[in-house]
Structure formats: C-alpha cells, structure tokens
Amino acid sequence: MTRKPEKPPRKGRSRSPGNSTIATGGRLLIVVAGLDGPATLTRIAAESGMLPSRAYRYLRGLCDAGLLAQETSSGRYDLGPETLNLGLAAISRIDPVRQALRVLPALTEETGLASLISVWGSHGPTVIRCEHANLTAPIRIREGLILPLLQTAAGNLFLAHEPEAATAELLAREVGEWNVVHKGKNRMTAAGIAQIKSSVRKRGVARTIGMRTTIHANLAAPVFGHAGKLELVITVIGVRGAFNAAFNGPPARKLAAVAKRLSRDLGGDAKDGPATP
C-alpha cells in the first residue's frame, strides 16, 4: 500500500498555537504577579481585560493548582505556594546561584553560622536558600522571605549596588515606616541613606546588629558578575554576642573571601568584589 505524501503546512502557520486555556491562565498569573499585593476579582479582571465571570473560572483553577491563593477574610487573590516553588526552582538554575549553592554548606560548616543567598526579586531582596547551623538559639529563615533594605546587611548591599530606580519604591516605603517609629536625630534622611551606601561600598562587607531581630547579628558580602552587575548576596547570621561580628573578624574574612572567589569565577572584576577585611 502506497502512503500518501504528507500535506505541506499552511503558509503563515509555522507552529501549533498551543492550548489557549493554559495560555489564558498563564496571562492571569502574570497579571497577579505584577500587582503590588493581594487583589480583588474586579481589579484582576480589569487588568487582564476579561469579564469578571470568565476571570473567576480561571482564578479558581489556579487556586486549585496552588499557583494562586485566596484570602479567606477579604476574598482577594495573591500568588500561591506553588508559584513560589516554581520561582525558587527557576532561580536556582541560574548559573551564579548554582555556583553559590555549592559553597553554602562549607561556609556554614567553617563559620558555625547560618548562611543564606538572596537575590533581587520583583518585590526586593529575596531569600532563595538558607543553610541552617547548630546555634544556641536556632535561626529559621524561610525561603522566599523579602528582606528590608535598611535593617538587614543584605538589604544594605542591594541598596548600595542596585540602580536607584529599582530600589526607590521599596526604599520610600521603608523610610516612611522607619520615621513613624524613630524621631528627631534618629529619623532616616537622604544624608543617612547616602552614608549607608558610602560605608557599604567602601567596606565591601555590610553588617547589621540587632536591627530586624534584636538577638541576631548578620554580615553580608556581594557577588558580582560581568560588567560589575550584582548577581546575589551571601549572608551569615548568628546570635548577637555569641560570635565575632567585627569587620575584620574570622567570619567576615571568610565570607569576603568566598564572595570574592565567586565574583572572579563569574567574570566579575576583582576590584568589584568585597575587600578582604
């Protein structure tokens, strides 16, 4: 039996259009991710250009899959746990992150401190991996946690090295919250922010003690890639007073050396890496 020759594809249709239902759900997920927080059905429908009744069906499906979550009290929708897991998995496959993940266990082992990796995400400095240590007071930091710019060592580094346009909105919000609590000479001003940036750039390693959490002290160092781009930040955290948190102490020196080596491996200029204290 002779096989009939296959029909040539129609002009203008080089590939299958795919499943439109999945594509529509994906677009809704992107809309929710781009909003500034939990949103109502009405707002999501308006942002996506869909009727609320149609958007609702897709939102329910995304909630059932764990990609979105609906607040019980307000009925608003936000990103769900599976979206976070997908994001973290995607980030972990980026080469700079892969290389940093390999050094984290040894850094924790050698310093006796919890260590973590954070990257700049859509909502600010985001923890993507934490290597826990056996400390007198256990430190548990969840992956996906957003770190403040002003009250964490990692946040200070992102503040100093990310473009101002990227940090402006988060910084303005934090300054407002800070100045509600701190008055007089303790208020955060433009001069104070400039001082934080200058100090971090000069030292290379950043430090905060008892700020975000009163019992913790943390040191952080930047990892740079090609053209001096800040790829990620590595932080070590311990109990305040239980380890040497000095800029020239053993943990800071070890952290700076690890970050500098990673920067060199990623094609960063040696001068961009943190200075060894």
Instruction: Indicate the fold that domain 86-272 takes in CATH.
Output: Beta-Lactamase (3.30.450)
- pLDDT tens digits for range 20-67: 888 999 999 999 988 888 999 999 999 999 999 999 999 999 999 999
- Overall pTM surpassing 0.85 (yes/no): no
Of 216, 214, 223, 178, residue with least CA distance to 196: 178
| pLDDT tier for residue 265 given thresholds of 50, 70 and 90 | confident
Of 117-126, 139-148, 178-187, 257-266, the poorest mean pLDDT is in 139-148
In the predicted model, is pLDDT for residue 256 greater than 50? yes
pLDDT at residue 12 in the model: 46
| pLDDT tier for residue 151 given thresholds of 50, 70 and 90 | very high
* Portion of the chain with pLDDT greater than 90, in percent: 66
CA distance 251 to 207: 12
pLDDT at residue 96 in the model: 84
Give the CA dihedral 149, 152, 155, 160, nearest 10 degrees: 90
In Å, what is the CA distance from 3 to each residue of 10, 11, 120, 159, 204?
20, 23, 57, 67, 70
Q: Identify which has the larger pLDDT, 269 or 157.
A: 157
CA distance 125 to 109: 25
- Arithmetic mean of pLDDT over the chain: 87
pLDDT at residue 140 in the model: 75
In Å, what is the CA distance from 88 to each residue of 78, 105, 262, 275?
17, 18, 20, 30
- Sheet containing 124-131, strands listed edge to edge, beginning at the edge strand earlier in sequence: 124-131, 114-121, 230-239, 216-224, 206-209
In the predicted model, is pLDDT for residue 243 greater than 90? yes
Domain 20-79 has CATH 1.10.10.10: yes
| pLDDT tier for residue 189 given thresholds of 50, 70 and 90 | very high
pLDDT at residue 143 in the model: 85
pLDDT at residue 1 in the model: 46
CA distance 238 to 137: 9
| pLDDT tier for residue 133 given thresholds of 50, 70 and 90 | confident
CATH 3.30.450.40 residue spans of the chain: 86-272
pLDDT at residue 14 in the model: 45
| pLDDT tier for residue 99 given thresholds of 50, 70 and 90 | confident
Average pLDDT of span 151-174: 96
CATH 1.10.10.10 residue spans of the chain: 20-79
pLDDT at residue 195 in the model: 96
| pLDDT tier for residue 222 given thresholds of 50, 70 and 90 | very high
CB-CB contact of 147 with 118 (8 Å):
yes
